[in-house]
Structure 1
Amino acid sequence: MLQLRASEALGLWHRVSVDLVREAGPDLTLRQLAILSQIYLVAPPHTVRGLAATLNVTKPVITRALDRMGQMGLVDRVRDNDDKRNVIIKRTVKGALYLECLGDLIVASGRELEG
């Protein structure tokens, strides 16, 4: 298992961040990335209300981030048929591929640290 000092962990984060900036893919804020990770790495269902509570932000903050990520095709939103007040956040293929590529970048950068 890779053991990192704080400076090495920051270096890894820096390399991954720079690689993300250089890529032609979606340019997410840290908040959007945290929301996207929550949606894809934690079992569904996900709602605006639930994401806001989990991340300790307001529903409008989540809504703005989801609006932008929806425009990028990374997530979809649909009304809950059982409770019309709820909006269910759905994963997309594009969002899954984005996070898979991010994971690959992290692994590759970690391997560079080991080598």
Structure 2
Amino acid sequence: MPRPRLSNPAEEVVEKVLEKMAEAGAISGFFRNRPNDRLDEEGMDFLIILKNKLALPLQVKTANRRESCEDKFRKHKKKHPLVNFLICVPVGLLASDSERVYREVERDLKSMINA
């Protein structure tokens, strides 16, 4: 049974990029956590299965002007020290330049996966 879509635009962007990467064979697959489930409470929005079968836990944040991604990462790392991967998605640009947002997210995810 298909899971209903959640309304977090930053996570929706990441999910679409991960689907594309899985179809291209760049990753083996991924799992998206539901809000307030155990893994979400542990600071993971996605669990990406790499081609070598290792898993990469990923937290997704919305980029904004009030707080830098570096500040968000520091706060996240303090609360969830085992989740080392965080991506900030500039959802404010989705309406005006969605292609750029998707390109940046794909670039950042590929960088994490190849690290």
Normalised to the residue count of structure 2, the TM-score between the two structures is 0.29
Name the structure, 1 or 2, with higher relative contact order (CA <8 Å, separation 6+).
1
Larger helix proportion of the pair: 1
Larger strand proportion of the pair: 2
